[in-house]
Structure 1
Amino acid sequence: MSVHDELTSVQRSLDELFRSLGRLEKQLGTGGLEMRRVRADANHLRESVALLRDAAATPAAPKRPDLVTISDAPYDPSLWVDSDDEGLGARDRRAP
């Protein structure tokens, strides 16, 4: 099942829970501490599922690129034969 299907199933279960709580409140009354706690907990569940639904609707954060390992071994000096030392000018000239 997809996330959307699972959230829809949870929402249906919550709706059934609220219908059952309504029937129970008719029999027991709404004034008791226990009934108020169950109703508050059910409301918190509804809010939490709404937050989950919002989080699932937003696109995921972009994936970080894979890291590249750089070796600690010294580079081959022949790679730098034709380059200038940056900031110092050419080899045959004096630095300012």
Structure 2
Amino acid sequence: MTAYSAGLRVSEVVSLKITDINSDRMQITISNAKGKKDRVATLSKAVLEILREYFVAYKPKNWLFEGQFAGEHYNTRSAQIIFKEASAVVGRLTNNI
């Protein structure tokens, strides 16, 4: 949901740190985006609420989406697989409408 709403690439999502979320300004800071440039994306209210629930449930330390091992961010390839599976589920659901 974070990737879709803010237009983030998979590599950008898994590289997000907790400090990259600015709820006061409703912005997400993306460091070293494409072309090694920093950029800012809009943070929606719906995503902020979900991220707050996620934070309480999982208590990430540094990376917003932490990987399997402590101190590491989520693996880009693992995130790609999850996105692909979610897309397939949505495709099946919309075909049944």
Give the TM-score normalised by structure 2: 0.29
Which has the greater radius of gyration? 1
Greater strand content = 2
TM-score, length of structure 1 as denominator length: 0.29
Higher helix share: 1
